[in-house]
Chain A
Amino acid sequence: MSRAHRGAEPRDAMSRVVVVGGGPAGMAAARAAAKAGVDVVLIDAGAKLGGQYHRQDSRAGTERFGLPPGVEHLAESVVWALEPVPGGHRVHLRTGPADAPGRTGRSIDTPALVLATGAYDQVLPFPGWELPGVYTAGAAQALAKGQGVRVGERVLLAGTGPFLLPVARSLLAVGAEVAAVLEAGNPARWLARPAGLLAGAGKLGELAGHTAALARHRVPYRTRSAVVAAHGTDRVEAVTTTRLRPDWTEVPGSRRRLDVDAVCIGYGFTPQLELAVAAGCALDGGFVTVDSAQQTSVPGVLAAGELTGIGGAELAAAEGEVAGASAARRLGARPAPPVRALRAVRRGRRFAAALAAAHPVRAGWHGRLREDTLICRCEEVRYGELRDAVREREAYGGRALKLVTRAGLGLCQGRICGRVVAELTGELTGEPGQSAAFARRPIAAPIRLGELAESPSAHREPGAGPPRVAE
């Protein structure tokens, strides 16, 4: 045992699989590893398991998901740093409500780390998107499913991809009127990809269920349509919508005004890469590269779910199961090969490829940006400033761009605007944008300076659990 481990709880010292993320992929990984007979710690930011997909009502006293014995579930816990140690990685986490004092700190060493951190909604900026009443589709769904709250009385959904449908259904379930669902793409393209279609047969049934629910509520579903502006003084009162050409430029004369008090936006998903980048995992096309055993390029680090490509809950769970078995193997267990899960992964990836091909984000939206359209909401960086910085200062690389424009330097640290800034910069410079630069964050989640300053010995003493540290 290295010097650094002295004083660690024995169970926190290289004896367990650590899974980060409690969504479909993380839960499946924890179950598979536990089934193989190894101990597991599952770390999740939510109060309850399920992640974004299986969002549970946090008010209910029930827990929908069970984890087998041998899995310690650390709820309301965030990993704020990851560092390599001999034979594996040290995971630094804080447990407790994010905004309240008294979070406890802990660090766990593991030879097998499964990253299942998922993805968040991608938003494309448009004039007025900073108004209160504009939500990401994921946030609206989380409020509806997690707390029974509807984001508005009359809501418009806009974006691309099948995720808009379950969000619309969640909104209907909490009593909101859904004014319309605007799909910027043209899902008829699905038919052009029979292989992907067959692979996703189960998924299609689910989508058909959503579509039927929308039809029952007479919710208009319009393809090749988008929101181009939100209007209002203190909050959204109306939006302007438009019809789109295949390249997402506007069809002239097709603008319409619609009165709504909330707008939900979802143009697909961006993987939550901070920990994978911190671990040094190789990326391809913005996603973590994995082999057939879900191993990343870094020994001892596995990845599952949306981190490896956007493919939905079923694929995520299958990848999680494979990753959990691989992780258990690193701890000396000899589980049987997860044959069914491996097959499901192969099938799911074909579906995911078809999905990605059917819902591309087209550059035509750039043309609707105005000089004063906000790009980074945290730092209030407008499109004109970003363009001028790139053109006049020739600043486009990583932190240099951020320092010149301040885009991505605010509280969300580029989670919302990073991909957009990279895309727009890429267009302005002719160089490929570097969206992964926004995920390069040694401190992966905000931590109070006082918490960071705490001596590690304060939570590394042997005992029944981490002592609470006085604020």
Chain B
Amino acid sequence: MSPDVVVVGAGIIGAACAEALSAAGLRVTVLERGALASGTTAAGEGNVLVSDKAPGPELDLARASRRRWPRLLAALREELGPRAAETEWDPKGGLVVATTAEAVAPLAEFAAAQRTAGVRADRIDPARARDLEPHLTRQVTAAVHYPEDAQLQPVLAATTLLAAVRARGGEVRAGTTVTGVVRDAGDRVGGVRTDRGSLACGAVVNCCGPWAGSFAAAAGAPVTVLPRRGMILVTAPLPPDTVRRKVYDADYVGAVASGDAELQTSTVVESTRAGTVLIGSSRERVGFDGTVRVEVLRELARKAVALFPVLADVPVMRAYGGFRPYAPDHLPVIGADPRLPGLWHATGHEGAGIGLAAATGRLLADLFTGAAPELDPAPFRPDRPAVMSQAVISPAVISPAVTGPDGETAA
């Protein structure tokens, strides 16, 4: 029996959409060309943040997602059992610190605007910040505590969501590349073509992340979604409580909102359950070029040591990179494609996909089933001009997906 919906891509967004669609009673098949959750999802830190977003549609989506994640995870624990639903969820909170006199006012302003939008953003003095994070630099000039920021382990989260899809009778197939969409007599989606044959279905959801532009083009309905490269450093395991929360330099906010091609780094330092400390994150617009630039790693290291001087003597064990999917207006793309009935998109979450996944899946499922969505879907419409009218796709995107996670050449 053919599925109602084929979700293309088994990253966190595909997994969340498939979970929400299957929860709504639809028969779902997830197709993934590589291994499950092995692309952008495996390269993420697992951020579930409200602290880094200015008031607007993305913050609304982030707040809805932050509310939904713990409820969803609790329900999945119930459904699948604690082991299969383990995701290392940790509502540890975030701390944004300014280290210069000039950054004090903008940080205060940003936090004030967030408070009016309903975010908990507590201004604290530098001494209090050092109580929360004893190893923090003495250069702190201002700090804001965001108790709602949380973290989970993104691969565990995605595989948990996919396990729920399977438990409800859905199917998850890795190692299957979708090469195009089959149109039925009414010029609607009638199925997908894959490297392992065709599969009939009623609808297709494009959850291909940074490769969403190339899939949309193959489906005959191009959208502009571009890759933006990021690198993360990982240290050797440290004693517990060396870094307790997610700690950002206040310049983080500026970099996320920017579209500049050149390198941007903004410091995010946090520990994981395994004791390692993750240091992010850089943003480079270099297409799918996976080449490592030492200058990028150096910049990350420099800023992390500035925030936590104690880290200077800690060995970095590894670095890894990935590609974030972004739309030119830096908003996610969620909804139906009016040019091809039956084609849906859920992509473009840039570096926030893990956090935004829970609400994205729900929104997509609500739109799909005609239920009243919790959020206004209009800002995320795939047919907004930034995404569709100038669907100019860079050659790196349109060429067959030549690179996979880590910039490795696809086999």
Cα distance A453–B314 in the bound complex, in angstroms? 12
Of A170-178, A246-254, A260-268, A435-443, the stretch lying at the interface with chain B is A435-443
Give the distance in Å from the alpha carbon of A441 to the alpha carbon of B316 in the complex: 11
- A1 adjacent to chain B (CB < 8 Å): no
Per-residue interface assignment for chain B, residues 307 to 345, with 1 indicating a CB less than 8 Å from any chain A CB and 0 otherwise: 000011111111111000000000000000000000000
Please state if A449 and B305 are interface contacts (CB–CB under 8 Å). yes
Chain-A contact segment, one of B34-42, B121-129, B375-383: B34-42
Interface centre among A403, A411, A440, A448 (most CB of B within 10 A): A403
Q: Which residues of the other chain, A, contact B319 by a CB distance below 8 angstroms?
A: 441-443
B186 to chain A, nearest CB (A): 36
Interface 1/0 per residue, A445-470 and B, CB below 8 Å: 01111101111100000000000000
Instruction: Verify A448–B42 contact, CB threshold 8 A.
Output: no
- Digitize B218-246: 1 where CB-to-A-CB distance is under 8 Å, 0 elsewhere: 00000000000001010110000000000
A401-426 to B contact mask, C-beta < 8 Å, 1/0 = 10110100101010000000000000
How many angstroms from the CA of A411 to the CA of B279 in the assembled complex?
17
In the complex, whether A135 has a CB less than 8 A from a CB of chain B is: no
A396 CA to B37 CA, complexed, in Å = 10
The answer to whether B313 touches A395, judged by C-beta atoms less than 8 angstroms apart, is no
Q: Is A206 an interface residue (CB 8 A)?
A: no
CA distance A442 to B295 in the complex (A): 12
Q: Does B317 lie within 8 Å of A456, measured CB to CB?
A: no
Choose, from B130-138, B152-160, B387-395, the stretch at the interface.
Answer: B152-160
Considering the complex, which residues of chain B in the window 194-227 have a beta carbon less than 8 Å from any beta carbon of chain A? none
- Which A residue's beta carbon lies closest to that of B314? A449
Is B149 on the interface with A (CB-CB < 8 A)?
no
Q: Which of B34, B43, B159 contacts A393 (CB 8 A)?
A: B159
In contact, A392 and B34 (Cβ under 8 angstroms): no
Q: Which of A92, A397, A409 has the most CB of B within 10 A?
A: A397
A81 cross-chain contacts in B, Cβ below 8 A: 292, 294, 297
Q: CA of A399 to CA of B158 in the docked complex: distance in angstroms?
A: 14
Q: Does B19 count as interface, using CB distance less than 8 angstroms?
A: no
A227 to chain B, nearest CB (A): 30
| A446, B298: Cα distance in complex, Å | 14
A81-B294, A92-B294, A401-B35 are known contacts. Are A448 and B312 too (CB-CB below 8 A)? yes
Find out whether the CB atom of A453 lies under 8 angstroms from the CB atom of B305.
yes
Determine whether the beta carbon of B297 is less than 8 Å from that of A443. yes
| Nearest B residue to A92, CB-CB | B294
The answer to whether A83 touches B294, judged by C-beta atoms less than 8 angstroms apart, is: yes
How far apart are the CA atoms of A291 and B36 in the complex, in Å? Answer: 36
Query: When chains A and B are docked, how far (Å) is the Cα of A399 from the Cα of B35?
Result: 10
B406 vs chain A, min Cβ distance (A) = 6
Most buried by B among A107, A393, A411, A442: A442
B313 touches A450 (CB 8 A): yes
Which bracket fits the contact residues of B? 35 or more
Interface size class of A (residues with CB under 8 A): 35 or more
Asked if B408 is an interface residue, CB under 8 A from chain A, the answer is yes
User: Is A213 part of the binding interface, using a Cβ–Cβ cutoff of 8 Å?
Assistant: no
B181 proximal to A (CB < 8 A): no
CB distance from A451 to the nearest CB of B (A): 8
Bound CA span A14–B84, Å: 54
Q: Mark B165-181, 1 if CB is under 8 A from A, else 0.
A: 00000001011000000
Q: Does B162 contact A (CB under 8 A)?
A: yes
Is there a chain A Cβ closer than 8 Å to B93's Cβ?
no
Q: Is the CB of B298 within 8 A of A404?
A: no
8 Å CB interface, B261-279 against A: 274, 276, 279
Distance to closest chain B CB from A408 (angstroms): 10
Q: Which residues of chain A are within 8 angstroms of B304 by Cβ–Cβ distance?
A: 449, 453
> Is B291 at the interface (CB under 8 A from chain A)?
yes
A394 adjacent to chain B (CB < 8 Å): yes
Partner of A449 from B231, B291, B311 at Cβ < 8 Å: B311
| Residues in A neighbouring B43, C-beta threshold 8 A | 399
Least Cβ–Cβ distance between A109 and chain B, in angstroms: 12
Q: Is the CB of A394 within 8 A of B159?
A: yes
On whether the beta carbons of B42 and A399 are closer than 8 Å, the reply is yes
- B318 near A400 (CB under 8 angstroms)? no
User: How far, in whole Å, are A400 and B154 apart by their CA atoms in the complex?
Assistant: 9
Q: How far is the CA of A441 from the CA of B305 in the complex (A)?
A: 22
- Whether A237 sits at the interface, judged by CB under 8 Å, is no
Q: Quick one: which of B42, B276, B314 contacts A400, CB cutoff 8 A?
A: B42
- A446–B236 touching, CB < 8 Å: yes
Asked if A169 is at the interface of the complex by the 8 Å CB criterion, the answer is no
Cβ-neighbour of B42 out of A398, A409, A471 (below 8 A) = A398
Query: Given contacts A83-B291, A399-B320, A453-B298, is CB(A394)–CB(B36) below 8 Å?
Result: yes
B274 near A404 with CB under 8 A, answer no
A400 and B37 within 8 A (CB): yes
Q: Is the CB of A452 within 8 A of B35?
A: no
A398 partner residues in chain B, CB cutoff 8 A: 35, 38, 42, 405-406, 408
Q: Do the beta carbons of B35 and A395 come within 8 Å of each other?
A: yes
Pairwise interchain contact B318-A413, C-beta atoms closer than 8 A: yes
**Chain A residue at minimal CB-CB distance from B10:** A394
Question: In the bound complex, how far is the Cα of B319 from the Cα of A92, in angstroms?
Answer: 15
- Is there a chain A Cβ closer than 8 Å to B163's Cβ? yes
A443 touches B153 (CB 8 A): no
Cβ of A449 and Cβ of B235 under 8 Å apart?
Answer: yes
Check A341 for interface membership: any CB of B closer than 8 A: no
Instruction: Give the residue name and chain of the B residue nearest to A83 (CB).
Output: B294
Q: Are B320 and A411 in contact (CB under 8 A)?
A: no
- B29 smallest CB distance to A (angstroms): 14
A413 contacts across to B, CB distance below 8 A? 317-318
A447 B315 Cβ-Cβ under 8 A:
yes
CA distance A406 to B240 in the complex (A): 18
Judge whether B305 and A450 touch: CB under 8 Å: yes
Q: Which residues of A contact B320 (CB under 8 A)?
A: 399, 442
Q: Do A404 and B291 have beta carbons less than 8 Å apart?
A: no
A453 CB contact (under 8 Å) in B274, B312, B317:
B312
**Measuring CB to CB, which residues of chain B are less than 8 angstroms from any residue of chain A?**
34-38, 41-43, 83-84, 153-156, 159, 162-163, 172, 174-175, 231, 233, 235-236, 274, 276, 279, 291-295, 297-298, 301-302, 304-305, 311-321, 405-406, 408
Q: Can you name 15 A-B pairs with beta carbons within 8 Å?
A: A107-B294, A392-B163, A393-B84, A393-B156, A393-B163, A394-B172, A397-B42, A397-B174, A409-B276, A413-B318, A443-B297, A448-B314, A448-B316, A450-B305, A452-B301
Excluding A397-B34, A399-B38, A453-B301, 11 further A-B contacts by CB distance (< 8 Å) are: A83-B291, A392-B84, A393-B155, A394-B36, A394-B159, A395-B37, A406-B274, A411-B236, A446-B315, A449-B233, A452-B316
The 10 closest A-B pairs by CB, nearest first: A397-B35, A450-B312, A397-B38, A452-B301, A393-B159, A453-B301, A442-B292, A400-B38, A446-B315, A403-B155
